Amino acid sequence: MTPNLLEVVDLHTRYGRVEALNGVSITVPQGHIVSVIGANGAGKTTLMNSIMGVLPSQGQLRYAGHDIQNMSLETRVQQGICLVPERRDLFASMTVADNLMLGAYSRRSKPWKADLEDVYRRFPRLLERRAQLAGTLSGGEQQMLAIGRALMAKPKLLLLDEPSLGLAPLIVRDILLMVKHLRDEGLTVLLVEQNARASLAISDEAYVLETGQVKMSGPAAELARNEELSASYLGG
């Protein structure tokens, strides 16, 4: 059986009095893409931020067999967890190349030159535009840069929060295909997507989050055929 890289057990996250996650449990097997789908406000971003340690939470977080609940954000990054946030967080007034180099900043193991070449090989568009300021890239290029920068940190677990947000359908397809290739090369991915049908198509397992709780879960292919889910999240 595939070992789990991440196990989230009975996770609770609050914003003051608002309980945004109310006992969420998910497992992410090594080398799989697991997607989390759900309506606006379901708690998807909160889940990602809680796993990363950007937000404090209660409950168990086990990563690669270790309890990471008390680990700092920096240590989680060094252990190989990397979040590409919904708003991408690029340095707009820095070049593409400098943004990528910053991705390697947290790494203990250098050199990173081969990794930079690897990112440029995956995203030829970034190579073409390496001297361009990140803030002047198109939305799709910015998402490529955000993923490329995450890859520079040599992650074992990539947390991708709404990579297709605001992008045209063809670009969404390219980005999700890239995520699938990364999985095929061994990366483990937890993917949050509004674009439920497209994300189920590349995922191994999926969870449906509703008001801070897991409403449904299972193999992605089964959920894609589920009628109830289809009516509410997959556009019929």
Q: Kindly state whether residue 109 participates in binding ligand ATP, applying the rule CB under 6 A.
A: no
**Interface pick for ligand ATP out of 44, 122, 125, 183 (rule CB under 6 A):** 44
- Please tell me whether residue 163 binds ligand ATP under the rule CB under 6 A: no
Is the bond into 85 cis (omega within 30 degrees of 0)? Answer: no
Q: Does 125 bind ligand ATP (CB under 6 A)?
A: no
* Cβ at position 35, least distance to ligand ATP in Å: 13
Applying CB under 6 A, which part among 36-44, 58-66, 110-118, 131-139 lies near ligand ATP?
Answer: 36-44
Choose one: 38-46, 62-70, 96-104, 142-150; the region binding ligand ATP (CB under 6 A). Answer: 38-46
Which of 169, 175, 176, 217 has the alpha carbon at shortest distance from 38? 217
Listed ranges 34-42, 57-65, 167-175, 196-204: which one lies at the site for ligand ATP (CB under 6 A): 34-42
Nearest approach in angstroms of CB 41 to ligand ATP is 4
The smaller minimum CB distance to ligand ATP, of residues 99 and 143, is found at 143
If one asks whether residue 56 binds ligand ATP (CB under 6 A), the answer comes out as no
Question: Does 15 engage in binding with ligand ATP (CB under 6 A)?
Answer: yes
| Residue 49: CB minimum distance to ligand ATP, A | 8
Determine, following the binding rule CB under 6 A, whether residue 41 of this chain makes contact with ligand ATP.
yes
Decide: is 143 part of the binding site for ligand ATP (CB under 6 A).
no
- What letter represents residue 165's amino acid? L
Q: Which residues pair with 161 in a beta bridge?
A: 192
With contact defined as beta carbons under 8 Å apart, do 162 and 88 qualify?
A: no
Our CA dihedral for 186, 121, 174, 232, rounded to 10 degrees, sits at: 30
Q: Residue 38 interacts with ligand ATP (CB under 6 A)?
A: yes
211: Cβ–Cβ under 8 A, 6 or more apart, which residues?
22, 41, 42, 43
Contact status: 206 vs ligand ATP (CB under 6 A):
no
Say how far apart CA 93 and CA 136 lie, in whole Å: 9
Sheet holding 205-210, edge to edge: 81-84, 157-161, 188-192, 33-37, 205-210, 213-219
**Would you say 53 and 215 are in contact if contact means Cβ atoms under 8 Å apart?**
no
Our finding on whether 40 is near ligand ATP (CB under 6 A) is yes
Distance of alpha carbon 50 from alpha carbon 56, whole angstroms: 6
> Is 17 one of the binding residues for ligand ATP (CB under 6 A)?
no
Which positions touch ligand ATP (CB under 6 A)?
15, 18, 20, 38, 40-46, 194
